[in-house]
Amino acid sequence: MSTSEVSPVASRTGGPSYRVVNDWSIQVATVNGSGSQTANSVLMRSIFQMGVPVSGKNLFPSNIAGLPTWFTIRANKNGWIGRKKEIDFLIAMNPETAREDVLKLQEGAAVVYDEPLKLNELRSDLHFYPVPFDKIVAPVCPDAKLRKLVKNIIYDGVVAHLLGIDLEEMRKALYKQFGARKAKAAELNWNAILAGKKFAEENLEKKDPFSVERMDETKGKIIIDGNAAAALGCVFAGCTVVTWYPITPSSSLVESTIGYFKRLRIDKATGKASFAVVQAEDELAAVGMVIGASWAGARAMTSTSGPGISLMAEFVGLGYYAEIPAVIFDVQRVGPSTGLPTRTMQGDLLSTALLSHGDTRHPMFFPSSPAECFTMAGDAFDFAEQFQTPVFVMTDLDLGMNNWMADPFEYPTAPLNRGKVLTAEDLDKVAEFARYRDVDGDGVPYRTLPGTAHPKAAYFTRGSGHNDKAAYTEREDDYVNNVDRLSRKFETMRSWVPQPEVLVNEKAKIGIICCGTSRYAVEESRDQIMREYGIETSYLRLKAYPFTSALLDFINQHDRVYIVEQNRDAQLMALMRLEFPVDALAKLRSIKYYGGMPLDARTVTTDFVTQEGL
């Protein structure tokens, strides 16, 4: 078996024996709303079922139908499933973008295209496969109205032939996609796949080097998007109240939660719900309801994106000072207002850490995979109740809305950590209840829930102006005592947040740090840096803020440390600047990407090489 390594500069027009197995990317260019999602999912899943590590990314416009959309699939035998910029195999279905899409390809790439587009006239250094989609679809889909939707799936059959995808896997993927209830639609689509395959067999001569071969690297794994994973995490973490306002790319997190709630959390005997979901009038109300519900003792969450986080600022500050738990998912995207709401970014790290006015600091978790979306959702509820403070789970559009190959989720067995809550029986045993007193020296006070039937239970909740008995005060010593205790609480959090993933290479002088979805590019980039430049690097992936001592240790262990992040202003590094000594800060360098696409390894490697002067 020949499995040549392909570096981006290498020629891909080798002799007839030149083959690239399980290491390529496919891009499908279609029109938003044309039903290509099914075709793309089936294509991705059939490669997955052949045991080949794979990822799928949907690059879509902020539009219901009509604008161009691209879906990229990357298969990689080494398990690199981050974005790859170079496209090896283009499926050009959209006349509007076809020309530009073809011109962007590197030489040696393959192009399946709708025959009337005559794309083969554009370049001579590519492998072209014209397919008359309209002619093929007519006989398999007698209903002319459905043809537009069925036409797309024909390319699955064509690509199955060209890449060597097992047709039986494609059939399984298709029927899984449609489910038992839509057997008729599945059959219609299956016939279209067969027609595509038959056309390709009879008319297309394989010229490109790309192919798929069976592996055993996906066994037991699942395919899921990060939003659905986080939703499952909430449902299994005992979340009971969800209040939200729709916003891309976060809406599907709550919609998935609602779906799983209805399936798993309705009492079979009574038909009653152990959850409440309210679609609020805006993000202010959504987080206000979460604060109210958490104050009254529920595990409550909301999910939003950057613009919503901005609106929540005042309430989050109150949550910090009044010490009320809250779980807030921020599925980060680019910028405010009309702009790039369907593009990904790690753009809210700094503003969220310090959200609101006065002195505020908020814990943030950084999941990087669906499995971490699941576990960190649970961790966030425990953490919010343990520390009585709003907690942010910072995912992004790339993780939240794209389909990921993932490890299956482990059932949570730990009991729920409901924090320091005094019941009526507890109050009988204490001489005095002072809501904001640091009884245990960890900065975390005790609370009672409204409705607790005890004369000592009640306290009055307000913002920053309270003493340790929750009484109103404007005295400077009371204020200072309180905010100093809040600092102690923040310090305590450092030993409770998820610890970073650390890979220290004894030979390495250089360390690389990232968080969240940047990991895919960074891990692959470290491999590129090693293979192409022979440089060993150490690696630290942050899973949470506040930082733990492991981060400063890591920086101290290396001569230079690169912080890779997906924003313009090096926000993660800015958070380190707030607390680290100057000698540590002097070692920090920044690799930033902020174009809105998922970060890719080559971008990281190129920037690293430039800064290193290699």
Partner 1 sequence: MSTVVAPPPAPKKVNRIGLEVLPYRGAKTTLCAGCGHNSISERIVEVFYELGIEPWTVAKMSGIGCSSKTPAYFLSQAHGFNSVHGRAPAVSTGALLANKNLRGIVVTGDGDTASIGIGQFVHMLRRNVPLTYIIENNGVYGLTKGQFSATADRGSKQKSGVINDMQPIDCCLLGIELGATLVARSFSGDKKQLSTILKACISHKGLAVVDVISPCVTFNDHEGSTKSYSYVKDHETALHELSYVPYYEEIQIDMAEGETRDVTLHDGSHLRLKKLDRDYDPTNKYEALNAIHQAEDKGEVLTGILYVEQKRDTLLDMLNLVDEPLATLPVERVRPGREALDMIMEELR
Q: Check the CA dihedral 149-152-158-162 and report its sign.
A: negative
CB of 256 to partner 1, least distance (A): 11
List the interface residues with partner 1, window 208-237 (CB under 8 A). 220-224, 232, 235-237
Q: What DSSP line would sit under 8-21, residue for residue?
A: TTS-S---TT--EE
Among 205, 267, 474, 476, binds partner 1 (CB under 8 A): 267
Among 77, 85, 171, 265, binds partner 1 (CB under 8 A): 265
445 is an interface residue for partner 1 by CB under 8 A = no
Among 86, 115, 255, 314, binds partner 1 (CB under 8 A): 314
Partner residues linked to 563 by β-bridges: 513, 590
Among 15, 16, 441, 451, binds partner 1 (CB under 8 A): 451
CB of 325 to partner 1, least distance (A): 11
300 is an interface residue for partner 1 by CB under 8 A = yes
Among 103, 296, 439, 586, binds partner 1 (CB under 8 A): 296
Residue 539, classed as helix, strand or coil, is strand
The C-alpha atoms of residue 143 and residue 149 are separated, in whole angstroms, by 11
Among 103, 183, 430, 449, binds partner 1 (CB under 8 A): 449
The C-alpha atoms of residue 351 and residue 403 are separated, in whole angstroms, by 28
Nearer to partner 1, 377 or 551 (CB): 377
Nearer to partner 1, 339 or 463 (CB): 463
281 is an interface residue for partner 1 by CB under 8 A = yes
497 is an interface residue for partner 1 by CB under 8 A = no
Partner residues linked to 511 by β-bridges: 538, 561
Among 64, 453, 474, 477, binds partner 1 (CB under 8 A): 453
**# of chain residues touching partner 1 (CB under 8 A):** 73
Q: Which of 214, 169, 174, 196 shows the shortest CA–CA distance to 52?
A: 214
CB 482 within 8 A of CB 437: no
CB of 315 to partner 1, least distance (A): 6
C-alpha R_g of the chain? 27
Among 20, 90, 112, 285, binds partner 1 (CB under 8 A): 285
CA dihedral 318, 277, 41, 567 (to 10 degrees): -10
List the interface residues with partner 1, window 54-113 (CB under 8 A). none
Among 10, 103, 183, 264, binds partner 1 (CB under 8 A): 264
The C-alpha atoms of residue 75 and residue 336 are separated, in whole angstroms, by 34
**Amino acid letter at 583?**
D
38 is an interface residue for partner 1 by CB under 8 A = no
461 is an interface residue for partner 1 by CB under 8 A = yes
The residue count of the chain comes to 614
The C-alpha atoms of residue 137 and residue 510 are separated, in whole angstroms, by 56
273 is an interface residue for partner 1 by CB under 8 A = yes
341 is an interface residue for partner 1 by CB under 8 A = no
Among 24, 190, 275, 436, binds partner 1 (CB under 8 A): 275
Among 78, 203, 274, 487, binds partner 1 (CB under 8 A): 274
* Site stretch for partner 1 (CB under 8 A), options 62-70, 115-123, 201-209, 262-270: 262-270
290 is an interface residue for partner 1 by CB under 8 A = yes
293 is an interface residue for partner 1 by CB under 8 A = yes
The C-alpha atoms of residue 427 and residue 605 are separated, in whole angstroms, by 60
479 is an interface residue for partner 1 by CB under 8 A = no
The C-alpha atoms of residue 487 and residue 494 are separated, in whole angstroms, by 11
* Phi–psi pair at 311, nearest 5 degrees: -65, -30
* Site stretch for partner 1 (CB under 8 A), options 148-156, 391-399, 453-461, 547-555: 453-461
Among 85, 104, 171, 462, binds partner 1 (CB under 8 A): 462
The C-alpha atoms of residue 234 and residue 375 are separated, in whole angstroms, by 9
* Site stretch for partner 1 (CB under 8 A), options 94-102, 184-192, 333-341, 459-467: 459-467
530 is an interface residue for partner 1 by CB under 8 A = no
Structure token digits, residue 342:
């369907």
Question: Which residues in 573-600 are b (16+ Cβ under 10 Å) and which e?
Answer: bbbbeeebeeebeebbbbbbbbebbbbb
Instruction: Report the phi/psi class of residue 243: left, alpha or beta, with left for phi > 0 and alpha for psi in -120 to 50.
Output: beta
**Amino acid letter at 72?**
T
Nearer to partner 1, 232 or 355 (CB): 232
318 is an interface residue for partner 1 by CB under 8 A = yes
List the interface residues with partner 1, window 394-413 (CB under 8 A). 408-409, 411-412
Q: Strands 326-332, 390-396: parallel, antiparallel or unpaired by DSSP?
A: parallel
